[in-house]
Amino acid sequence: MSGIVHFEIPFDEAERVKKFYTELFGWKVEKAPGMDYWMIYTLGGPGGGMMKRQEPDQKIISYFGVSSVSESSSKVEMLGGKVLAPKMAVPKMGYFAVCMDTEGNVFGLWESDSQAG
């Protein structure tokens, strides 16, 4: 069974969104070294991230942990969903894909793999 393993919040202004969520929830937010990405620490560990908005209507995306992004992406399409962004590597962390369900909801798939490259 899969569960939410990560979420991403798009932003237009980094300091504004960081202030909002740190004051609202008490989250710790730190810029990832060498990246235009901010890690969000919730409940004592990393739980999500923040990144510059890529599209005007981009929303928060939840990522579900799966054993294989490739297999799950195929299953998404078989069940009538769409793969919007195919499997991509996050070096030394894993792989992800972004999908849409049959109701137009966007979500991500995440496969942990420390050998990803």
Q: C-alpha 102: how far from its chain's center?
A: 20
Q: Which pLDDT score is estimated for 24?
A: 95
| Predicted confidence (pLDDT) per residue in 74-104, tens digit | 999 999 999 999 999 999 999 999 999 999 9
Please say which residue of 42, 60, 78 terminates a domain: 60
Domain with 114, as residue range(s), is 66-117
Residues 70, 106, single domain; the answer is yes
49 φ, ψ to 5°?
-150, 165
**Residue 62 exposure: Cα atoms within 13 Å on the Cβ side:** 7
Residues 51, 10, single domain; the answer is yes
Residues 56, 70, single domain; the answer is no
Residues 111, 56, single domain; the answer is no
Residues of the chain with pLDDT under 70: none
Q: Which pLDDT score is estimated for 117?
A: 85
Residues 72, 105, single domain; the answer is yes
Residues 107, 53, single domain; the answer is no
Q: Which pLDDT score is estimated for 1?
A: 75
Q: What is the rounded distance in angstroms from the CA atom of residue 4 to the CA atom of residue 16?
A: 26
Q: Which pLDDT score is estimated for 7?
A: 96
Q: Per the confidence metrics, is the pTM higher than 0.95?
A: no
Residues 56, 7, single domain; the answer is yes
18's CB contacts (< 8 A; 6+ apart) are 29, 38, 50
